[in-house]
Structure 1
């Protein structure tokens, strides 16, 4: 079976733009994706937009319905809990792998994130951005390509809930403490502690989402 043909650069760029727009909320959950409008906005063809929408549908970010077009797929809280439970396992695996594989320059990058987290002093918005940055770095440093690819898709589906959790009282401060533990474990090559601290962090996020789903925030 021949390998799939590579996507043209224009299609790849459009896919990244649309994915990022969903990630940042510029395209909101439930919003209709109109091919002609997106083609005009991005200076490309409707065929390229159609291809990007199909790929986003495969990633679970877009829902397509016959005769009704495509919309940004809303992720409800129960699904977000499931996604976070999966992330807990895979993010912990990547942290353990990173504790083993991270190079000295990579560990210095993590220490820089550590310093910024301390300076953020529990600022929920800054914390959320640094948290996302940290976990992307850990996936890169783990050299665990399969887990990293799965996590890259999952994080786009649940990202809006990460900030929602961080904005709850005390959550950003607790998350910062968790992340400092993770960074220290990775930088000291403590694979077991890196895995445990990461798993506990994401299990805590999942627990908070469960409480939100039942109408309790504390």
Structure 2
């Protein structure tokens, strides 16, 4: 691979995307032969992919039954969000310590776009911007260990987040929480940024607990 060229997508990347996009649904069996045919891959590569995704918590391998997409219960989604609350709080605090003027401008722009999405009730756009804001904060924080764990945990609860984003009025509740997070980071106040992020994710936890199983 030449310098500067995009990293080639692996089989694991492709199967992971299929799970996160809903092409494979919770509890669906992942038949080796079918996956080989769908992705044009060898059986050995498919088995290794299943092992990698099992390590990420997206797939479970059952003895004598093969692999299937792991279903994440509401209770587990709540626990995962509680862990994220600690890690993303750390990321927000680090971001407040390290944010540059250019990065602060970018955060303000994302929040401004989120306001516009709420104003026109564009739930899909708001959800995309929500994810972009959290990713931007992690990038500014530059804390690779927490970012890797957060990414893995977030992948496990993607379906719960998708349903939560579509709860009536959820975006209007979430927006001021994100505004507080960004205001604290831009003000370079690590303690306030950490508190605002944790309060936001505590709100997510409560919404998950109140939602359907």
Scaled by the length of structure 2, what TM-score is found? 0.90
Aligned twin of 2:211: 212
**Residue from 10, 13, 16 that aligns with 2:13:** 16
- The answer to whether 1:43 aligns with 2:40 is yes
- The answer to whether 1:106 aligns with 2:98 is no
Q: How far has the Cα of 1:84 moved from its partner?
A: 0.6
Separation of aligned partners in 1, 2:39 and 2:105: 38
Name the SS of the counterpart of 1:67 in structure 2: coil
Scaled by the length of structure 1, what TM-score is found? 0.88
Q: How far has the Cα of 1:166 moved from its partner?
A: 2.1
Which is further off, 22-31 or 202-211?
A: 22-31
Q: How far has the Cα of 1:183 moved from its partner?
A: 1.5
Aligned pair count? Answer: 205
Aligned twin of 2:166: 167
**Residue from 104, 111, 116 that aligns with 2:113:** 116
Name the SS of the counterpart of 1:189 in structure 2: coil
Separation of aligned partners in 2, 1:108 and 1:46: 48
Separation of aligned partners in 1, 2:103 and 2:53: 31
RMSD over equivalenced CA pairs, Å: 1.7
Q: How far has the Cα of 1:148 moved from its partner?
A: 0.7
Decide whether aligned partners of structure 1 residues 46 and 105 sit closer, same or farther in structure 2, where only a CA change above 3 A counts. farther
- The answer to whether 1:63 aligns with 2:60 is yes
Instruction: List per-residue Cα deviations over 1:84-130 (Å, max 9, x = no partner).
Output: 11111111110110111123332232122112101102533222221
Aligned twin of 2:89: 92
Contact 1:123 1:172 in 2 (8 A): no
Name the SS of the counterpart of 2:61 in structure 1: strand
Contact 1:124 1:163 in 2 (8 A): no
Which is further off, 78-87 or 182-191?
A: 182-191
Separation of aligned partners in 2, 1:178 and 1:114: 11
Structure 2: unaligned runs, 5 residues or longer:
1-6
Aligned twin of 1:6: none
Aligned twin of 1:176: 175
